[in-house]
Amino acid sequence: MEQKQIDWSTFATCSGVILLVCLPLALYPETGGQIVLTAYQFISTEFGFLYMLAGVAVTIFLLRLAFGRYGKIVLGEDGDKPEFSDYSWAAMLFCAGIGGGLMFWAPVEWAYYLEAPPFGVDAGSVRAAEWAAAYGLFHWGPTAWCFYGLPTIAIAYAFYVKRVPFLRLSASCRCVIGTNEESGAARIIDFLFMIALLGGAGSSIGFTTPLIAACISRLTGIDNGFGLEVFAVFLCVGLFSTSVWMGLRKGIKRLSDINLGLALALLAFVLIVGPTVFILKTSVESVGLMLANIVRLNTWTDALTESNFTETWTIWYWAWWIAYGPFVGLFVTRISRGRTIRKVILGMIGYGSLGAMLFYMVLGNYGLSLEWFETLSVTTVLDEQGQALAVVAILGQLPWPGIAIAVFCIVTVVFTATTYDSASYILAASATRQIGVGDDPARWHRLFWAAALAVIPLTLMFAGRLADDPRAGLTVVQTATLVASFPILFVGILMSVSLLKQLRADHS
């Protein structure tokens, strides 16, 4: 029965694209890496302003939806109650939405901004440090989670209210492209979504596996090389496989609940044993600076100075959220039956932003304190050894560093594994013809896409490893995200129009 439900054309097309992308990068990594970088430069320079406009538009759209007359609509049938508790829902939302990428960026993102600050501020100055502490909160804050919220509501309304019998991105565009899920437009949208997800999730995994490898190297003394990174990928896949076999409720839910608690315990430990007053004062100041400049941050395109700050950071981050958004939307749809549109939107923006900002405020400001008070030159480690080793160096300054690094590694592994788990679940659902409410794709199908997800980051990391620059692999992975996200930028317009048409027709 499961064999007949597979959408073999979508399955074969996406599998073929993975081979077409990965084989040239593996056989000709230097040439392939350069082509990818050239594509990044073109898209970010010529079309970067579209990403900035998208951030403003999606935020306004969702807030009006949440606080307007459609906010009380229940995503489900009359009498449906939420399937999961608020804690479990928030934990799964958070783990799927950020993966291990948050663990990679939160401790050291400030260092990039301190060395090359925005708005023409002098590098290394007090003002640069203030912006360094605030900009990460913005990149992982409300606008980012709004990119997740739009596809979530568009897909959930179609799935739970309109009773569309499949979990695909094209379902969110039915009022624009038609109701035939086999049409050419629907096929193209679902194909673009799967490619964007492979790029977005693959990029997230590409960030975290070098970090996991660096932690393992520090704890065991094993040389930190490409072989250890490959081991880190298979470690996450192994944990994922166990989770898949146990299913959504016993697998992803339990992993997410446990890992969120462990992550919060780690943050509490760093806050208590670190420079507590400095962390708290800097956190309050950075939140205030971000909120006071929220409009400027969302609209600054860097047109006059041409420092490439916006292209390097904000546009890339928005591209990451856009590429990842439909996947998170499909997954959050699966766990949100019985919740209202308002609760889903505000829950995603609130829980997601608060959770991510906590990591930046505690881990990020702890790392900043080491640099500012000259305990450890984080920027020097970052420039000479790369980001993963810079994170490990920061953790090494904590009391009981072995325990701190081990817990950090476990949290990162589980976050990465839940990314595998959630992403492969959604890829399998998108390549399955019909899925009823509460049903899951075939286990072997999810395992296949988990293996496919592992191929892309390994190939990108291999291409980046051949360069002398320790940041080259990171740059190649970032670039793949932007290229994959570009078509989804326009699918978001179709989703918005289709959702509004359905809401107005059903609740005029």
Residue 398, token pair as written in the block: 């904590």
The pLDDT of residue 477: 57
Running DSSP on this structure, what letter comes out for residue 222? -
Q: How many CB atoms sit inside 10 A of residue 182's CB?
A: 10
Dihedral angle, C-alpha 205, 211, 212, 215, nearest 10 °: 180
Asked if 503 contacts 185 with a C-beta cutoff of 8 angstroms, the reply is no
Whole-number Å distance between alpha carbons of 387 and 271 = 22
Mean pLDDT by 10 residues, the chain (508 residues): 57 68 63 67 82 95 94 84 82 73 91 93 94 95 93 90 78 79 76 72 73 89 81 73 57 69 91 96 96 94 84 88 83 86 93 91 96 94 90 94 92 78 73 63 73 70 53 55 77 91 87
Residue type, 132: A
Closest CA to 65 of 348, 357, 326, 353: 348
Closest CA to 98 of 38, 55, 144, 135: 144
**Which helix or strand (DSSP H or E) is residue 488 part of?**
helix 472-506
Residue 315, token pair as written in the block: 């546009």
The pLDDT of residue 160: 87
Place of tokens 């051949």: 466
Q: Taking the chain, what is the end-to-end CA distance rounded to the nearest angstrom?
A: 41
Whole-number Å distance between alpha carbons of 129 and 18 = 41
Whole-number Å distance between alpha carbons of 448 and 348 = 29
DSSP sequence for 243-260 = HHHHHIIIIIHHHHHHHH
Question: Domain total for the chain?
Answer: 1
Running DSSP on this structure, what letter comes out for residue 6? B
Running DSSP on this structure, what letter comes out for residue 171? G
Classify 319 as helix, strand or coil: helix
Whole-number Å distance between alpha carbons of 130 and 118 = 11
Residue 357, token pair as written in the block: 């900002």
- For residue 378, give its domain range: 2-506
The pLDDT of residue 26: 62
Q: What is the pTM of this model?
A: 0.85
Count CA within 13 A, CB hemisphere, residue 3: 0
Residue 171, token pair as written in the block: 């379902």
Kindly report the CATH number assigned to the domain that includes residue 469: 1.20.1740
Whole-number Å distance between alpha carbons of 321 and 324 = 5
Residue 54, token pair as written in the block: 């998208």
Any idea what the Cα angle at residue 284 is, between residues 283 and 288, rounded to 5°?
115
The pLDDT of residue 250: 57
Asked if 150 contacts 61 with a C-beta cutoff of 8 angstroms, the reply is yes
